[in-house]
Amino acid sequence: MYELKFNADGLIPAITVDAVTNEVLMQAYMNEEAFEKTLETGEAHYYSRSRKKLWHKGEESGHYQKVVAIYADCDNDSLLLEVNQLGGTACHTGNRSCFFNLIKTFGEKPGNLRTLRILDDTIKDRAKNPQEGSYTNYLLDKGTEKICKKVGEESTETVIAAMKRDNNELSNEIADLFYHIFVLMQSRGISYDEVLKVLESRHACGADTPAREPKPKKK
């Protein structure tokens, strides 16, 4: 049905990425049974070449992978899984991603969306495991009203930096604003991926404006 091209061993490589950040989490293999099980359950199943058996990701660690989408490449001989990684780690070493052994960098790495995921995870961890002296815990303990005041202050400082035409200061103020907005989201029980979904829905309909809906016409 899917016309996938399994190799001589009956396997096909599967690259797994975070559905929100596109961060590469791991690379494994599927046989036809693992592929069908993944389609059937919506959770990632692989074939373990070392154990020579079907492998339900998370069956021992509890770090299951909820599949959001599956793609085949142009030759139908490789798969890409977009997943929500439960438990925060995909690697058996306890690392978020299996790809943590840096060999070489070629110049400065650009910022990427993974930083927002790390910020979100850190704030969530502070909420669950408070640390003495943590500014995040201070804000969360004070509540939404205090956090909103800080968001307002950081917004004003961002505007001031922009008007001064100081881009270095502006970058720092925007980073501060991002942080406080993320704390606000934690306080209100929403995650940044919910905001990304809103942006995505607007982009899908060609929206390039923050307006949520047309203003009512005056009578």
Query: What are the residues facing 84 on neighbouring strands?
Result: 66
pTM: 0.70
Residue 201: predicted pLDDT? 82
Tell which phi-psi region holds residue 93, choosing left (phi > 0), alpha (psi between -120 and 50) or beta.
alpha
Q: What is the mean pLDDT of the chain?
A: 91
Average pLDDT over residues 198-213: 70
Examine the pLDDT at 1 and tell me if it is beyond 70: no
Q: What are phi and psi of 166, to 5 degrees?
A: -105, 95
Encode pLDDT of 77-92 as tens digits: 999 999 999 988 999 9
- Find the helix packing angle between 192-204 and 114-128, rounded to 10°: 150
Using CA atoms, how far residue 168 sits from 40, 50, 119, 162, in Å, is 50, 51, 21, 10
Name the pLDDT band for 199 (thresholds 50, 70, 90).
Answer: confident
Q: What are phi and psi of 163, to 5 degrees?
A: -70, -30
Long-range contact pairs involving 194-203 (C-beta distance under 8 Å, separation at least 24): 196/20
- Tokens in use for 182? 């993320």
Average pLDDT over residues 110-124: 84
Residue 52: predicted pLDDT? 95
The highest-confidence range among 19-28, 113-122, 210-219, by mean pLDDT, is 19-28
Which candidate, 26, 64, 59, 73, places its Cα nearest to that of 44?
64
Examine the pLDDT at 116 and tell me if it is beyond 90: no
Residue whose structure tokens are 């190799």: 7
Which candidate, 175, 208, 193, 23, places its Cα nearest to that of 98?
23
Average pLDDT over residues 39-46: 98
- Do residues 85 and 18 touch, judged by C-beta distance below 8 A? yes
Average pLDDT over residues 3-32: 95
- Tokens in use for 192? 């940044």
Radius of gyration over every alpha carbon of the chain, rounded to an integer in angstroms: 22
Residue whose structure tokens are 């982009």: 203
Average pLDDT over residues 107-136: 88
Encode pLDDT of 138-170 as tens digits: 999 999 999 999 999 999 999 999 999 999 999
